[in-house]
Chains A and B, each alone.
Chain A
Amino acid sequence: MKNRVLKALAIVGGLCVSFGCASGRPSAEPGAINTPAPTALAQPVPDAPQNELSAEDELLLDETFGLENGNSFYTVADPLEPVNRAMFVFNDKLYFWVMKPVAEGYRFVTPTPVRSGVRNFFHNLGAPVRIVNNVLQGKGRAAEAEWTRFLYNTTVGILGFGNPAARYPELNVSPEDLGQTLAVYGIGDGFFLMWPILGASTLRDTAGMGGDRFLNPIGYVDPFELSLGLSGYDKINTLSFRIGDYESLKDAALDPYASFRDAYIQLRQSKIKQ
Chain B
Amino acid sequence: MRVTSWIAIIVAFSLLLGFSAVLAETRPPMQTVKERIDQIITVLNDPQYHAPAKKEAQRDKIWEIASPMFDFMEISRRTVGSNWEKFTEEEKERFTAIFTRFLGNSYIDKMQGEYHNEQIVYVKELVREPQALVQTRLVREGAGMPIDYRMKLEDGEWKIYDILVENGVSIVQNYRVQFQSILQKEPPSHLIKRLEDKLKA
Contact = CB atoms under 8 A, between A and B. Distances in A.
Contacts of B128: 50, 53, 61
Interface in A252-274: 252-255, 258-259, 261-263, 266-267, 269-271, 273-274
Given A241-B140, A244-B113, A274-B167, 5 more contacts: A34-B142, A44-B29, A248-B113, A262-B174, A266-B168
Given A53-B126, A254-B179, A270 B168 contact: yes
Contact of B167 (A61, A75, A270): A270
A252 B110 contact: yes
Contact of B177 (A75, A251, A270): A75
A33 interface: yes
A259 B125 contact: no
A195 B125 CA distance: 38
Contacts of A115: 141
28 contacts: A32-B121, A32-B123, A33-B144, A34-B139, A38-B119, A41-B30, A41-B122, A42-B124, A44-B29, A50-B127, A60-B126, A69-B78, A69-B81, A69-B84, A70-B78, A73-B173, A116-B141, A241-B140, A251-B109, A252-B103, A252-B110, A254-B179, A254-B195, A258-B181, A262-B173, A262-B178, A266-B168, A266-B173
Nearest to B179: A254
B198 interface: yes
Contacts of B96: none
Interface in B119-174: 119-129, 131, 133, 135, 137, 139-144, 148, 150, 152, 162, 166-170, 173-174
Contact of B169 (A38, A75, A270, A273): A270
Contacts of A71: 81-82, 176
Interface in A1-56: 32-36, 38, 41-42, 44-46, 48, 50, 53
A231 interface: no
B182 interface: yes
A32 B119 CA distance: 12
Contacts of A62: 131, 133, 150, 162
B183 to A, nearest CB: 11
B107 interface: yes
Interface of B: 26, 28-31, 34, 77-78, 81-82, 84-85, 103, 106-107, 109-110, 113-114, 119-129, 131, 133, 135, 137, 139-144, 148, 150, 152, 162, 166-170, 173-179, 181-182, 194-195, 198
B170 A266 contact: yes
B18 to A, nearest CB: 19
Interface residues of A, number: 48
B28 A73 contact: no
Contact of B121 (A35, A50, A269): A35
Given A44-B31, A248-B110, A253 B178 contact: yes
A119 B141 CA distance: 11
Contact of A266 (B123, B135, B169): B169
A155 interface: no
Given A33-B139, A33-B144, A69-B84, A267 B168 contact: yes
Contacts of A32: 121, 123
